[in-house]
Amino acid sequence: MRIEQFDRHKSNQGYLAAKYPCVLSYAFAAVFLFIPYAKLLAWLIPFIFFFREKDSRYLRLHTAQSGFLLLFLALLTLMLNTSADVAFYFASRSQSETAVIEALFLGAKLDQAAWGLALASFALLLVESVLAYTYRLLPLPLLGRMAARLEERTRPGPLR
Domain-located, residue 123: yes
Burial class, 136, CB count within 10 angstroms (exposed 0-12 / middle 13-18 / buried 19+) = middle
pTM: 0.87
Residue 55: what pLDDT?
Answer: 81
User: Which of 63, 83, 61 is CA-nearest to residue 159?
Assistant: 61
**Any domain includes 68:** yes
What string of pLDDT tens digits covers the 160 residues of the chain? 688 888 888 888 777 888 898 898 899 888 888 888 888 888 888 999 899 888 888 999 999 999 999 999 999 999 999 999 999 999 999 989 999 999 999 999 999 999 999 999 999 999 999 999 999 999 999 999 999 999 999 987 665 5
Whether residue 55 lies inside any domain: the answer is yes
Tally of structural domains, the chain: 1
- Structural domain that includes position 124: 4-153
Q: What is the pLDDT of residue 10?
A: 83
Instruction: Kindly state whether residue 49 falls inside one of the protein's structural domains.
Output: yes
Residue 159 lies in a domain: no
Could you tell me if residue 109 is inside a domain? yes
Report the candidate in 74, 65, 55, 64 with the shortest Cα–Cα distance to residue 16: 55
Closest CA to 55 of 4, 21, 29: 21
- Structure confidence at residue 148 (pLDDT): 93
Q: Is residue 20 one of the residues assigned to a domain?
A: yes
Q: Report the pLDDT value the prediction gives residue 134, as an integer from 0 to 100.
A: 93
CA atoms within 13 A on the CB side of 34: 8
Is residue 78 within 8 Å of residue 129, measured between CB atoms? no
pLDDT of amino acid 3: 87
* pLDDT given for residue 99 in this prediction: 92
Using DSSP, state whether 5 is helix, strand or coil: strand
Q: What is the CA radius of gyration of the chain?
A: 19
| Any domain includes 67 | yes
